[in-house]
Every structure is written in C-alpha cells, then in structure tokens.
C-alpha cells in the first residue's frame, strides 16, 4: 500500500485501503454472486465513470455466464453530492425478464441508486439487485436494500480505484481519504 499522501487540486489525501484489501472484498462479492446467480446469466449494469475498475475486477472473478453494459449518471460536484441526478448516457438493452445487477463504486446518499432502481424496475426485470464496492450507511437519505456490499466505510471523502475528485485520482490502485 502507498505510504505517502497525494495532492489533488487543493486537497491532500492519505492512504486508506490497499489494492490487496480491495481485491479481497471484490473476490468475496464475486463468490457470493457466482453462487446466487448460477444458471441465471445476469446482466451487470456498471455505473460510469466511477465503477469501471470495480466492474473490470469483479468480472475477472465471475465464473458464471454473464453480460455487462454501462450507464453513465452524475450527481457529484467537487466533494459533495449535488442532490440531483442527471442521466448522461442511457441504457439500451432489453431488461424485461433479465436478472439485473447494478454495479456501483459507492453508495452514499442513495440519490443515484434510488433513481436507477426506479428507472430499471419500470423495465420489468426478473430480479434487480445492487452490488457496490463501498457503502456509507450513515449518509443514506433513501431506504435502500443493497444486497452486495464490498466494504462499509465511514463518511470520509475517498479517491482512487475509479473514484475521483473533480476528475483526478481515478487511476490510483489504492484508495485514499481526504485529510
């Protein structure tokens, strides 16, 4: 794990979670998903931009037949949620009677996830679940049943492993938190 702080824009970030810790959490999620979706051929719906690394590493650990597609939504400005969700890139796959699993980098307020769950549920999937690498339970403003959580974390602002601060920091293999 990195031992020094990084600087992004006007903020400093200290090492928080190593790539090895992330890999272990993802492997545990993949094991559960492989068991729960055996014989079902789920469609993973990855939320861009943040979930791209999580999605790639999770799918490398999937042993069942599955598909992946991507949707892009935005709800952040700087280090805080704007409270509104804007769909940037739509979903074009047929979801009726499919087993859909939304892959998200982080669930904090739940605004994005609530909108996605409502939008996707209207398309009548056979089942609909959420798998997130990070969950901030104390930040939730919506009642959400998130079945697959890699790591529950406190309300720290984090970057790395796909998560950014105004566009920077996604490329780090470890996760850092603001200091």
Cβ atoms of 82 and 75 within 8 Å: the answer is yes
Cα→Cα distances 21→108, 137, 157, Å: 20, 20, 18
Query: pLDDT tens across 141-160, in order?
Result: 998 989 999 999 999 999 99
Q: Among the options 108, 156, 164, 174, which is catalytic?
A: 108
DSSP output for 7-27 = EETTEEEEEEE-HHHHHHHHH
- Would you place residue 106 in the very low, low, confident or very high pLDDT band (cuts 50, 70, 90)? very high
- Would you place residue 129 in the very low, low, confident or very high pLDDT band (cuts 50, 70, 90)? very high
- Residue span of the structural domain in which 68 resides: 17-76+89-178
User: Is pLDDT at 117 greater than 50 in this prediction?
Assistant: yes
Give the pLDDT of residue 78.
52
Is residue 104 domain-resident?
A: yes
Is residue 136 domain-resident?
A: yes
Closest CA to 99 of 44, 155, 164: 44
Q: Which residue has the higher pLDDT, 8 or 90?
A: 8
The CATH number assigned to the domain holding 136 equals: 3.40.50.2020
Give the pLDDT of residue 88.
44
- Would you place residue 91 in the very low, low, confident or very high pLDDT band (cuts 50, 70, 90)? confident
Q: What are the structure tokens assigned to 66, written together?
A: 């599955």
Give the pLDDT of residue 89.
67
Indicate if 118 belongs to the active site: no
Rounded to an integer, the average pLDDT of 117-132 is 95
User: Is pLDDT at 98 greater than 50 in this prediction?
Assistant: yes
pTM above 0.85, yes or no: yes
Give the pLDDT of residue 32.
98
Is residue 44 domain-resident?
A: yes
Is residue 3 domain-resident?
A: no
Query: pLDDT tens across 32-55, in order?
Result: 999 999 999 999 999 998 999 999
Is residue 118 domain-resident?
A: yes
Q: How many domains does the chain have?
A: 1
């Amino acid at each position: 794990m990195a031992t020094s702080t990084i600087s992004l824009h006007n903020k400093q970030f200290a090492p928080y979670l190593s790539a090895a810790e992330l890999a272990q959490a993802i492997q545990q999620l993949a094991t559960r998903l492989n068991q729960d979706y055996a014989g079902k051929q789920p469609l993973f719906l990855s939320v861009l931009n943040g979930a791209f690394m999580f999605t790639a590493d999770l799918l490398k650990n999937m042993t069942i037949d599955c598909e992946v597609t991507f949707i892009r939504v935005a709800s952040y400005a700087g280090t805080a949620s704007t409270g509104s969700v804007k769909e940037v890139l739509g979903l074009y796959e047929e979801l009726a009677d499919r087993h859909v699993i939304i892959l998200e980098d982080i669930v904090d307020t739940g605004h994005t996830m609530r909108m996605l769950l409502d939008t996707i549920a209207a398309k009548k999937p056979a089942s609909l679940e959420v798998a997130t690498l990070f969950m901030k339970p104390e930040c939730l403003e919506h009642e959400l049943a998130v079945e697959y959580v890699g790591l529950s974390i406190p309300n720290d602002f984090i970057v790395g492993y796909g998560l950014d601060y105004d566009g920077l920091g996604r490329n780090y293999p470890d996760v850092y938190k603001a200091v």
